[in-house]
Chains A and B, each alone.
Chain A
Amino acid sequence: MDQRTFPSLTPTTSDGRRSRCSAAGLAPAALLIAAVFLLPLAGLWLPGGADFPIAESSPPIAWKALVASLAVAVAAAVAATAVGSLLAVALTLTEIPGRSLWAAVLLLPFLCPRAVWALGQLYCYGAGGLMERWCGGGWRALAGLSDNGHYLATLLVLAEIHAPLAMLLVSRGLARLQHAGFDSARLLLSPSALVRWTAAAVRPEMAAAFLLTFALSLGEFAVPDVLQCPLYSVEIFLRVVNYFDHAGAARAALPLLVLALLATGGMTVVERRRGYVSDVPSPARTPWRLGKKIWLVGGLLGLYLLATSLLPLAAMIYEVQSPACFWAAIGDAAEETRNTLEIALAAGLLACLAGIVMGLWSADRGGLAAGLLAMTPLGIPTLILGLAYLRFFNRSWPIDLAALGNTSAVVVLALAARGWPFVTRAVAAGCRRIAPSWREAGRLAGLNRMQRWRWIAGPLLVEQVAAGAVLAFVLAVGDVEISQMLCAPGSGTLAVRLITFLHFGPNHVTASLALLELIITALPVFLYFLLTNRWLQVV
């Protein structure tokens, strides 16, 4: 975060009116978008479709796996919120140099494809991995303690992946502290009292971070699949692919879907009416100078980065073996790479268009219903979204849509449905950051609604829209679940190729594909950073 992002204005004017983006008239379009993207969810419960279960083999609902998933998701959310809060404090309140770069790098675990991230951790900390090669038997014995079901490993990787989201959310709360007397508190309170005061001030953001990371961890499939952890999402997936029991999988998915939606719904309620700071720099702000302690903060951040990102990346590069192996592997994957880019760009575009409309509408309406409609789809697990689209489009009534199955149209639509809520959130947050006084000034200057949009709101939202588009693109690139279920024959993506080779080996091919996916997702993130000198405000 650079100097420009520090606050001086709150989203409400002195007479208490909320910031609005003059998006009246968008309601029909917003409702249409929500209907188009969410209607296929009805496919989960519609009768008919391609139900051809091997009924005698399809197992009953695995309650043990559901309980394990809940426990792992809660623990991962607690860990992610704690780590994310610490990272937010380090990057938002202190004067650590290069904060935007730190933030861009720290965001990578969330933006990188889940399967790739989990694979990197496996290459580094798993059996036969980098750490075992360095530390030998000691590491093997330590790893053996958490071997049973790999629950601990899954929990830690999920926490790593979602900690950046918590960091972003808590940062937003911390940025508000400037207006809540943080400087006075810093001078007057003891360190422990200051910690309690700060935690209380950002409690809503911490609660939101917990609920969001819980929802996303609960529905996660790629990480437990790569780490061979028998969580509930894996059970649902196996029901789909091994037994082709779509109806049974839809029934089994219901508890997961309800819990995830409750969590993101709760997050919307918690966040409602929270203040967003504007982009105007605060002349009164006095930075928290840590003196020599800044080295300690920098050292800890570096250690965190080393353990979570750099070592796994090094392990992945080591597994590639040689540049020749890398080029050969990505040469073989040229068609999938092209498919992936086409599908991800298309899905990003659709998600972006839908997210802009929904974001403007929800920020303009400001009501709970609009917020819930715009934000709760964040919690829909990708696996369940893919399953719903599969069931909805793979049926012959009321019209036969089977021809769509030979194109990438359905997979593009489903991936856009995955990315759309994130763009919505970024745009809505951008709208709420625009100081109402600016629009009032425009109105007083005689600008009409379109001119105010053209000259005030539009330019201020470009970065949020770009952030949302980047996120929708990288989510589509890394998606495993939707692509595996919906891709047309011969139109597979890189992520599906990676998952196939993950089990068949050889390792250098898998590692090369993972590295290629990492590069494809990291490039737009760093491009965004270079062009804007800001971190991606994706939530």
Chain B
Amino acid sequence: MNQGSRTRLVFLAWALAAAGLIGGCRPVDGPEVVVYVAVDRGSAEPILRRFEAESGIRVRPVYDAEAAKTTGLVTRLLSESDRPRCDVFWNNELVQTLLLADRDLLAPYEPAAAAALPASWRDAAGRWTPVGTRARVIVYNTKYVSPEQLPRSLFDLTKLQWRGKVAMANPQFGTTRTHVAALFASLGPERAQRLLSDLLANEIRIVDGNALVKNLVARAHPDASPIYLGLTDTDDVLAGKAAGEPVGLIYPDQDAGALGTLVIPCSVGMIRGAPHPEAARRLIDYLTGPEVESRLAAEWPGFFPLRPDAAQQPDGAKSPRAMQVNWPEVLKQLQPSSQWTKEHFHP
């Protein structure tokens, strides 16, 4: 390369880099809304993009990585409480939203669409609105677990035949944390602790997230990784099934008189002191409308709409019989149950 070409290339590189410097540090113009999203990115992103296109409001999302789970976003919201940066929190479960409401970090705003929801799923103060539900299920490997072997209850996972063959996510975080707190609230702390201790004694494997539980089960093999069962969320299993993985799901405790399956609603709320309140209200209106629930039901396997006017799951699947849960009591049990699992579970 001659000196002239080299000089031109060097100038080109510097010009590109300077353009990057200017572009990278420019402030944002126009209306915008900052939303922290704990719902799976693959499902949430198209919805937010559509809102952006329809409303002309720029959406600036922060998604959580599975490794950080909802807890990361909630702790971030807590840390920003003096100077909020976020407008809307779209959570994939309810308890951490209740935690924010309990700490007075959510502003009351009940969207018009909330009127169509069952009364049992509405907050009296209007600080959050549910958006559909998911369930906590048992995932199994269809190649290595025959129909007659299938467990019917969470308590079946403590049986000797499943020793070292079951996995669950770290109960310090995410929906697994909610599940444990719900067990503490529904069964009572002593019975819940006994169930969890029995699972530990049965050598349950603790992994980093619900998706990894499903992956472990899907890739199970007697010689290398004999994890045939796991506790996870509906959407993880159904997404695996759709991808052709050898997995199936069981809604646990569906027999008469049994505990029932834990059904967890997604939730959305506006942050108190949100920098863009008007845009935040418009986004909440959009997210709680029937269109979004229908779309989530169509695209997000295992998502069951709460609104009667929203389209249900395309395959006609129905929500299971739900565990009777007193959510304020679950919130009360969140800290004691987390403390207990921190002391006993070692991922």
Contact = CB atoms under 8 A, between A and B. Distances in A.
Interface string A468-500: 010000000000000010001111100010011
A408 B335 contact: no
A503 B221 contact: no
B194 interface: no
B59 A490 contact: yes
22 contacts: A54-B71, A127-B224, A228-B207, A339-B24, A341-B20, A344-B20, A345-B21, A349-B14, A402-B85, A406-B27, A408-B25, A466-B13, A469-B13, A489-B61, A490-B59, A496-B65, A499-B65, A500-B65, A501-B41, A503-B65, A503-B209, A531-B6
A242 B68 contact: yes
A383 to B, nearest CB: 13
A140 B83 contact: no
B224 A342 contact: no
A3 to B, nearest CB: 17
From A52, A407, A490, residue with most partner B Cβ within 10 Å: A490
A499 B338 CA distance: 26
B259 interface: no
A140 B41 CA distance: 32
Contact of A244 (B1, B32, B78): B78
A287 interface: no
Interface string B163-207: 000000000110000000000000000000000000000000001
Interface in A398-435: 402, 405-409, 412
Interface stretch (A90-98, A105-113, A296-304, A504-512): A504-512
Interface residues of B, number: 71
Contact of B86 (A343, A489, A502): A489
A140 B223 contact: yes
B17 A346 contact: yes
Interface string A429-468: 0000000000000000000000000000001001000100
B324 interface: no
B14 A57 contact: no
Contact of B19 (A345, A347, A531): A345
From B19, B65, B69, B79, residue with most partner A Cβ within 10 Å: B65
Given A50-B79, A490-B34, A532-B1, A504 B208 contact: no
A407 B61 contact: no
Nearest to A140: B224
From B26, B173, B223, residue with most partner A Cβ within 10 Å: B223
A525 to B, nearest CB: 14
Interface in A129-157: 137, 140-141, 143-144, 147
Nearest to A409: B25
A186 B212 CA distance: 55
Interface string B224-239: 1100000000000001
Nearest to A126: B219
A56 interface: yes
B172 A57 contact: yes
